Amino acid sequence: MLKMGCSHYQFVRLRPAIMEDLEEMLNIERSSFGDESYQKELIEQLLSDKEFHNAIVEVEDVKVGYATFFEDARKKRARLITIAVMPEYRNRGLAKALLAFLQKEMGRLRLGIVSLEVGTSNVPATNLYLSLGFRIKGTIPNYYGKGKDALYMERSIDRA
Ligand SMILES: CC(C)(COP(=O)(O)OP(=O)(O)OC[C@H]1O[C@@H](n2cnc3c(N)ncnc32)[C@H](O)[C@@H]1OP(=O)(O)O)[C@@H](O)C(=O)NCCC(=O)NCCS
């Protein structure tokens, strides 16, 4: 668990997510992705399968964001599956903090590369990843459905 001071908030806490966080993770999903949100069963799977690693961020005891990566232990790679922060808590560094927390976990697991896909029209998320050192490796046509392309991005993982 990481407790940190934040210029915007009195108390921010980062920790691995657990099954008891399921409902709030679903709320964060819906507030961020609307109709394209993960279903409850999928979030349950993210929380129960050991290949998935989840982090949640709380601000003054309110769960406001979460992020998940998939561990490919054989290839020593991580794949960022999702990240979302509730709209009213954005632009305060919480997504960066979530990714820093997960990156430490990736380092502990001795993974070498983390990859992700992001919609070509998703400027906030693309800027977030670029600001953290991800590089654009290519474009995947129609990744999110017809006419909705994705950027494929990667970065190396700092060792813990
Ligand atoms: C993408 C998302 C997680 C960012 O969360 P956040 O907590 O607001 O992000 P942070 O405050 O940590 O911002 C970190 C960096 O992201 C970029 N960024 C964040 N919001 C931005 C915006 N509205 N416009 C442009 N860049 C933005 C900036 O580079 C920022 O760094 P800076 O503040 O030093 O300029 C959030 O917007 C979100 O939940 N979006 C909906 C879900 C989503 O699209 N997830 C990504 C799927 S691939």
- State residue 159's pLDDT score: 74
- State residue 45's pLDDT score: 98
What one-letter code names the amino acid at 19?
A: M
Rounded distance, CA 60 to CA 159, Å?
A: 31
Give yes or no for residue 128 CB within 6 A of ligand 1: yes
Ligand 1 mean position, distance from CA 94 (Å): 9
143 exposure class (CB count in 10 Å sphere: 0-12, 13-18, 19+): middle
**Successive 10-residue mean pLDDT values, the chain, 160 residues:** 57 97 98 95 98 97 97 98 98 97 97 98 98 98 96 90
- State residue 10's pLDDT score: 73
Give yes or no for residue 67 CB within 6 A of ligand 1: no
Ligand 1 mean position, distance from CA 134 (Å): 14
Structural domains of the chain sorted by starting position, each given as residue range(s) with its CATH number in brackets: 2-112 (3.40.630.30)
* Atom 14 of ligand 1, nearest CA residue: 128
| Among 8, 35, 116, 128, residue to substitute to test ligand 1 (most atoms within 8 Å of Cβ) | 128
